[in-house]
């Protein structure tokens, strides 16, 4: 189990969560941030500081955002576990589940 960031983070990216993570395991993508499931130590420090309430313990993910559990793991398939978001830098792409979400305010 790990903590997972879900849909409300998309196009918001407040980043308050990053400052709380003791192991630097929250990685930035173009539209949202992702918690590395193998690097997260399940401390829970990030969850209460997110203003959009995007962060959940994986087991507690709301049903409508259940796809974000797998997406948060799959987005690291190529990268592996580099051991730190700051030194790695941003991810080049979002997971397709995230990239496919229609931006808020869009009519399409």
For ligand F3S, the binding residues (CB under 6 A) are 3, 5, 9, 12-17, 20-21, 23, 25-26, 33, 35, 40-46, 50, 52, 54-55
What is the C-alpha to C-alpha distance for residues 10 and 87, in angstroms, rounded to an integer?
Answer: 23
What is the C-alpha to C-alpha distance for residues 19 and 93, in angstroms, rounded to an integer?
Answer: 22
What is the C-alpha to C-alpha distance for residues 62 and 34, in angstroms, rounded to an integer?
Answer: 17
Nearer of residues 45 and 67 to ligand F3S, judged by Cβ: 45
Nearer of residues 38 and 42 to ligand F3S, judged by Cβ: 42
Nearer of residues 47 and 107 to ligand F3S, judged by Cβ: 47
Minimum CB distance to ligand F3S, residue 25 (Å): 5
Minimum CB distance to ligand F3S, residue 30 (Å): 13
User: Burial, 88: exposed, middle or buried (Cβ in 10 Å; 0-12, 13-18, 19+)?
Assistant: middle
Nearer of residues 12 and 67 to ligand F3S, judged by Cβ: 12
SS3 call for 97: helix
Minimum CB distance to ligand F3S, residue 13 (Å): 5
First to last CA, the chain: 35
């Amino acid at each position: 189990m790990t903590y997972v960031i879900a849909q409300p983070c998309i196009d918001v990216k407040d980043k308050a969560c990053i400052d709380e993570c003791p192991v630097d395991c929250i990685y930035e993508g173009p539209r949202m941030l992702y918690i590395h499931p193998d690097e997260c130590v399940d401390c829970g420090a990030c969850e209460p500081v997110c203003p959009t309430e995007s962060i959940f313990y994986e087991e507690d993910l709301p049903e409508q955002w259940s796809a974000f559990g797998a997406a948060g793991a799959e987005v690291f398939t190529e990268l592996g576990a580099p051991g730190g978001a700051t030194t790695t830098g941003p991810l080049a792409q979002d997971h397709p589940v995230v990239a496919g979400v229609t931006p808020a305010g869009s009519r399409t």
